[in-house]
Amino acid sequence: MRDNLFIALEGIDGSGKSTQVKLLAKKLEETGHKVYATFEPTDGMIGSMLRNILKGSIAADHRTIAGLFLADRLDHLLNETTGLVKKLDEGYTVITDRYYFSSYAYHGTHMDMDWVIAANKMCADILRPDINIFIDVQPEVSMERISANRQSAELFETLESLKNVQAKYLEAFEKLKGEENIQKVDGNRTPEAIADDIWAQVQQYSAR
């Protein structure tokens, strides 16, 4: 049993994940944890290729994109220097902005979700999050936040696709509720209120 946690934050684009990763990392550090905050798509080679695809600079079929996200995730876990398996062994509490539930939700809108889940089984066997925290935000709220802050939208950033992704997240949680620890927080509130809820969830699973 590790006493350092592996925490995944999930939610549609603009749900506030990266804001909450920062707030959670700060609280964990203040309470004596060593924290490694990370994200998918990664900033490695495969992740960079994915960002170019998401921006529209490179064209790719949705099945190819799903395969690349899987490869990026395996590198995220297994990379010899920066891999999460190593970070957890070194005693870091790891917080990731997106993990495999993102694949189930985003690729599940284009292909059979069960295929995506089966393809990611190896990742679940290597590292299953101690907690998956879902920041549950109304797609309209999230779309407003995105539009207020960005000049151009990425591949999935239309209201319709955010609604589809939100629905697929809920479908994936229902399918996997027996094997995954999934905690939902109401993300339509202030960053501080959301952070307090996340902190309460994390403390329940923290040995310290």
Taking the C-alpha atoms of residue 130 and residue 8, their distance in angstroms, rounded to an integer, is 8
Q: Please report, as residue ranges, which positions from 3 to 62 form the binding site for ligand TYD (by CB under 6 A).
A: 13-14, 17-18, 40-41, 54
Strands 131-136 and 182-186, how do they pair?
parallel
* Burial letters 168-199, b for 16+ CB under 10 A, else e: bbeebbeebeeebebbbbebeeeeeebbebbb
DSSP 51: H
Instruction: Assess 14 for contact with ligand ADP (CB under 6 A).
Output: yes
Residues 137-176: x where in contact with ligand TYD by CB under 6 A, - otherwise, as a string: -----------------x-x--------------------
Q: Which stretch binds ligand ADP (CB under 6 A): 7-15, 30-38, 83-91, 104-112?
A: 7-15
The binder of 156, among ligand ADP, ligand TYD, none, by C-beta within 5 to 8 A per type, is ligand TYD
Written as six digits, the tokens of 25 are 């990392």
Is there a contact between 88 and 2 (Cβ–Cβ < 8 Å)?
Answer: yes
Instruction: Assess 10 for contact with ligand ADP (CB under 6 A).
Output: no
Taking the C-alpha atoms of residue 77 and residue 88, their distance in angstroms, rounded to an integer, is 10
Instruction: Assess 75 for contact with ligand TYD (CB under 6 A).
Output: no
Considering only residues 191, 200, 205, 208, which one is a binding residue for ligand ADP as defined by CB under 6 A? 191
Number of residues that bind ligand ADP (CB under 6 A): 13
List residues near ligand TYD by CB under 6 A.
Answer: 13-14, 17-18, 40-41, 54, 69, 97-98, 102-103, 106, 154, 156
